[in-house]
Chain A
Amino acid sequence: MSASGQAAASPVDDRVEAELRRVGAKLEAALPSASHQPLKVLDARAMELASSDRELRAALFRFVDVVPACRSLDDLARHLTGFLAEVSDSPPPISAAMRISHTKAGRAALGAAAAGGVKHLAHRFIVGESPRSALGTLSKLWDHGVASSVDLLGEATVTQSEADHYAARCSEAIEVLAPATRRWPAREHLESDSVGPVTRANVCVKISALTPLLRPDAPARGQRDAARRLRPLLRQAAHAGAHLHIDMESLDSREAVLELALALLDEEDFRDGPSTGLVLQAYLRDSPDQLAQIMDWARSTRRRPPLKVRLVKGAYWDQELVQARQHGWAVPVFERKQDCDRNYEGLTRTLLDARPALRVAIASHNLRSVSHAIAYNRVSGGRDIDLELQVLRGLGDELQHALASEGYRVRTYCPVGDLVAGMAYLVRRLLENTSNESFLSEQARGTPLDELLAPP
């Protein structure tokens, strides 16, 4: 089926489907087996439990969300039992947990266990408290043929000093990562493509964290304020030879972020660098229009390093849906999974066709989406080296392993920060991971390969 879902399949489509199946089968075979990673099995069971029961899932998420705000073991236990009390049909392990909470000692034990559980879960997704403490993990990833991108988690920026603090952390990340990554051994498929070198040090930055002044209905003031902190970071990244990737967040800031990024990158100062990137969210109905806008810009800019576009599904789906419904607005995201997946594939093809004006990173844990990108790239005459795959730390570990072992360039998105900062991120990841529609749960349930690779 073609990307539009309407027209009849073309010969290219048939070849892509055929190649896609070959690629997908090899990747599936390269996925690590569960028995090698006992801790992952435990986590998977917890996830399974959470996925199967909506009330339990809600209770666990509310607990994870509040953990950093708890001030004692007793406090932790009180919150946990408070949330679990609202679950109408607790499975036996939960009822057992509730029973021990009636004594002070029991609460202390429960609190410690629960906090320990959350910390363990957090460590699966967050690589370290600071860029320096994360270096060990990032270096090990590189040794195993996996590149990385560092994202700094933090509280919302509502004051100027919080914005300054975030900018300082971004600067520190560049300063720590650039020299450290230079000492890593050569990995040709991770650090070059047909255009030229691909930088090793890769830092993500959020515009909304660089200013407290961003307003959805009046973006200019926030844009100016963010720009004055972003310019020095761009200069520093250019000088240090690091890549700076501008993240996309909710629709409220989308226009502002895209406009600011394209305007800044057109400035004289940044003509020759640094390597930078943007994000395209496939779950937005108007994402093809954004891509057209980015491609127009790429064609007319005098900037030399090609802009890297990371194609994601999008991480704020529930929020966008709820906000639109509460206000009576048209829902800006695809509501059906297959429409989003279809759009993802259409955007993949347009992006790959746009090279070398753009560089392309396909960020997905969906075996079909990933295989499709690789297959289309090959069928349209591209080299594997000119396509980057990206996964999220903690969620995409198995896929990362498979892609690396098959020789593709894979980059893992690695959040850095303390537990307090990490909560919003963690809750969103858990929501994604335990949604019944999530690809990972399908995989875990043992869905056959043919079904996993079927067109959306």
Chain B
Amino acid sequence: MLAPFANEPILELRRSAVRAQLHHALERVDATLPLEVPVWIGEDSRTGDRLLSTDPGNPDRVVGRAPAAGGADAEAAVAQARQGLREWRAVRAQERAGALVAAAQWLRERRVELAALEVRECAKPWPEADADVCEAIDFLEYYARGAIELGRGRELLQVPGEHNELRYVPRGIVAVISPWNFPLAIPCGMTAAALATGNAVVLKPAEQSPAIAYRLVQALRAGGVPPAAVSLVPGDGDAGAALVRHPDVHAIAFTGSLAVGREIVRSAADTGDGQRHFKQVVAELGGKNCVIVDADADLDEAVPAIIGSAFAYAGQKCSAASRVLVHEAVAEHLLERLAGAAKVLVVGQAETLGTDVPPVIERAAQERVARYCRLAAEQGRVVAQAQAPDGDGWFSPATVASDLPADSPVLGDEIFGPLLAVQSVRDVEHACDVVDGLAYALTGGLFARDPSVVRRVRERTPVGNLYVNRGITGAMVGRQPFGGNRLSGTGMKAGGPDYLLQFVEQRAYSENTMRHGLEV
């Protein structure tokens, strides 16, 4: 019997004794770099150096080295998965859960080193890296318990002479295509959900974070998941596309950009090549997340929360705040405080405690952010900027902009960087109109103290995760099931009670129990 689920406590970094561990962990990890990340299909593994992941804060430092998986690898991985599926689906839910919980323990025992690896491979500042590792542990523990529950099937209406059952069985082979911004938690969540429900998984991680994904697969296999049931195919977009296309893949779990998500949905809809099923697509895509600030908001709370939601991890979160819609009565005061708070942000290396804004993931990202900043300056006004330091990393300044025209791409596009646009609105109804006009609907925030306003915004908002009087990032497994609507996502929310349903088929069973007038 598993104890009730509880979130893994993050490191208490406000204590100096806890902070002292970090430096040593980083040294230990540095000594192992670059990590050889294999194409790991069943028991077969091969290494290579076509794919290099580098430290965004020091691009000369190679963190992971991997072959670039191709079409043949995808084929081999799916073949292995077929075998792995046969083995794994026969394991009882309780034992599958046990393997996930053991994998969680493997991660827990190495949590500081794993965080250190994220600091290096993805320039995640320590608090963000630690939270990501904790979230990965949470997904394993949470879905393990969910799998046991699903394993019991569902209660159906029973009448005399008839026995009815509803069971959940695995869909089959799941391709997991994961991003770099939560490089352990997101691949872990999608993979764990698929494995918990008896599926076999082929994991294609982002080319920016293969090393961390490798650690995840190590954890799962060490916990007891058969090697054939979880394979790793590091590679670029082509490797992912090959898996999506494959007629023997039953489901695709994807987290990433809207553009790639659209392509996956399109490709997966095709049932050619003798395929005898429709592919299930579970997609968590982008956002253009707005924080509404009403006239009675507590600005002492709103300002730090908005700054954190916009600029932590350089805004590279699908949940990040990218727009503020503030009631005109307090707009000037809020903008002044946001500007002042933004100016004192520290743009620096992820490994340095106290860094607010680390370098962005790669050169292309840096260039994209710079492009949008130029646009913001041309079309509107740059109100404040925390300058990026000199150095080789992909540093981007943290920027607050205002007075942008309604059709500005700065207001509509997902920028995925440290750029926040602030605008004044007549009132909360007007703010809700703006939010309703967007194609994305992932997270949203509201700072207001009138209960009727809170009720109204709850009614009108389309977002999947509304946060009231707090920041809009940092969703916790079990507490804030995460996922968006409209073009922000396709299905049920991660870290919530319904997520596993996407990875199963339903089988109903009904038996006549009467024999010659007697119930047997």
Contacts and interface: CB of A to CB of B under 8 A. Distances in A.
B497 interface: no
A298 B6 CA distance: 44
Contact of B295 (A69, A159, A161, A251): A69
Contact of A216 (B9, B13, B341, B346): B13
Contact of A329 (B9, B296, B303): B9
A160 interface: yes
Interface string A46-77: 00000000000000001001100111000100
B27 interface: no
Given A217-B14, A328-B6, A71 B329 contact: yes
B127 interface: yes
Interface stretch (B75-83, B260-268, B448-456): B448-456
Nearest to B22: A217
A159 B343 contact: yes
B14 A162 contact: no
Contacts of B19: 217
Interface string A319-353: 00000000111000000000000000000000000
A212 B340 contact: yes
A201 interface: no
Interface stretch (A78-86, A228-236, A396-404): A78-86
B322 to A, nearest CB: 20
A160 B343 contact: yes
B431 interface: no
Nearest to B336: A159
Contact of B451 (A85, A161, A162): A85
B215 interface: no
B14 A216 contact: yes
**Which bracket fits the contact residues of A?**
35 or more
A328 B8 contact: yes
B7 interface: yes
A65 B12 contact: no
B516 to A, nearest CB: 59
A174 to B, nearest CB: 25
**Which bracket fits the contact residues of B?**
35 or more
A288 B137 CA distance: 36
Contacts of A216: 13-14
A14 interface: no
Nearest to B13: A217
Interface in B339-391: 339-341, 343-344, 346, 352-354
A329 B8 CA distance: 10
Interface in B427-455: 449-452
A23 B272 CA distance: 93
B7 A212 contact: no
Contacts of B7: 328
Contact of A218 (B15, B303, B353): B353
A228 to B, nearest CB: 14
A82 B450 contact: yes
A433 B296 CA distance: 26
Given A217-B126, A217-B127, A221-B346, A159 B340 contact: yes
B341 A212 contact: yes
Interface centre among B7, B16, B127, B451 (most CB of A within 10 A): B451
Contacts of A212: 340-341, 344
Contacts of B307: 158
A127 B422 CA distance: 38
Given A65-B449, A69-B449, A155-B300, A255 B8 contact: no
A213 B344 contact: yes
Contact of A82 (B15, B297, B451): B451
A141 interface: no
A215 interface: yes
B298 interface: yes
A158 B337 contact: yes
A159 B296 contact: no
B13 A158 contact: no
Contacts of A161: 340
B514 interface: no
20 contacts: A62-B449, A66-B449, A69-B449, A71-B295, A82-B450, A86-B451, A156-B304, A158-B300, A158-B337, A159-B337, A159-B339, A159-B341, A160-B340, A213-B344, A217-B127, A217-B353, A221-B354, A255-B16, A327-B10, A424-B300
Q: Which 7 A-B pairs have the closest CB atoms?
A: A159-B340, A218-B354, A328-B9, A216-B14, A217-B13, A156-B300, A218-B353
